[in-house]
């Protein structure tokens, strides 16, 4: 039975790696959500707590769209993101392989939203996304700040982002833009440039959520691991010093 024929439901997946999860459930036209332990991830999730009646912090700090497999045999995604490589910086709408999200230390939480879209709608999503790649649409930290302001003042959520710029959008605004362009509004009543990853996760549009659940290591365990790493590093340094000629 297709996801659009049943109420929204969540399929919890455990005991597998990020790579296994993505390769098993990702399909063209699906939305990917990720969360992590970096300061940026934590800051975004903390701001999104205003969406919860109890003030609980959501898990999602980034959103992207799956393109499907290409001739290289790899699964690719479309996203608006900030990436810093050696001698190269990507700021805006771009294509990447899903292998970017295999690193579990950076992307500790993942979800895939499957709306079971027909082939023509998937094609329209990808064409619109690739057009933004070709036209170098930028990632907008300014608009992200405008959304954080709207989260603190909910009456602003339905209005145009106060810090909006042309040809600019951050991750979840980019995904919402693509879906609205193809006639599907995932967060009615919210301006697309005020859309958060959590808004997409909570969409009432019929879909199945595949959720990779992984228990984070206990703080005490992390401290022990860090201590062992430091001790190992010191032992290695001492051995090297012992080998130096006097």
The tens digit of pLDDT for each residue in 75-92 reads 999 999 987 656 556 789
Whether the pLDDT of residue 17 is over 70: the answer is yes
Q: CA 121 → CA 54, 117, 127, 183, 205, distances in Å?
A: 37, 6, 10, 9, 15
Per DSSP, the three-state class of 244 is coil
Confidence of residue 243 (pLDDT cuts 50, 70, 90): low
Partners of 31 in the β-ladder: 65, 113
Q: Tell me the Cα Rg of the chain.
A: 20
Among 56-70, 157-171, 173-187, 220-234, the minimum mean pLDDT is found in 220-234
For 159-175, write each residue's pLDDT tens digit: 999 999 999 999 999 99
For 113-124, write each residue's pLDDT tens digit: 999 999 999 999
Whether the pLDDT of residue 188 is over 80: the answer is yes
Mean confidence (pLDDT) of the chain: 86
């Amino acid at each position: 039975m297709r996801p659009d024929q049943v109420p929204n439901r969540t399929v919890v997946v455990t005991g597998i790696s990020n790579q296994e999860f993505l390769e098993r459930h990702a399909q063209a036209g699906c939305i990917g959500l990720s969360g992590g332990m970096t300061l940026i991830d934590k800051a975004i999730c903390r701001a999104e707590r205003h969406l919860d009646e109890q003030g609980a912090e959501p898990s999602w700090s980034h959103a992207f769209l799956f393109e499907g497999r290409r001739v290289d045999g790899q699964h690719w995604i479309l996203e608006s993101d900030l990436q810093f490589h050696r001698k190269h910086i990507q700021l805006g709408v771009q294509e990447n392989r899903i292998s970017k999200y295999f690193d579990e230390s950076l992307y500790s939480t993942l979800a895939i939203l499957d709306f079971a879209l027909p082939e023509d709608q998937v094609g329209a999503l990808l064409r619109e996304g690739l057009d933004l790649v070709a036209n170098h649409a930028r990632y907008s930290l300014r608009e992200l700040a405008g959304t954080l302001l709207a989260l603190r003042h909910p009456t602003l959520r339905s209005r145009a982002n106060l810090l909006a710029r042309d040809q600019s959008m951050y991750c979840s605004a980019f995904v919402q833009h693509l879906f609205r362009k193809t006639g599907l509004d995932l967060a009615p009543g919210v301006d697309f440039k005020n859309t958060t990853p959590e808004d997409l996760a909570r969409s009432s549009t019929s879909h199945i959520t595949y959720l990779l659940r992984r228990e984070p290591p206990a703080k005490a365990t992390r401290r022990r691991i860090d201590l062992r790493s430091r001790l190992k590093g010191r032992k290695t340094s001492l051995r090297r010093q012992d080998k130096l000629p006097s």
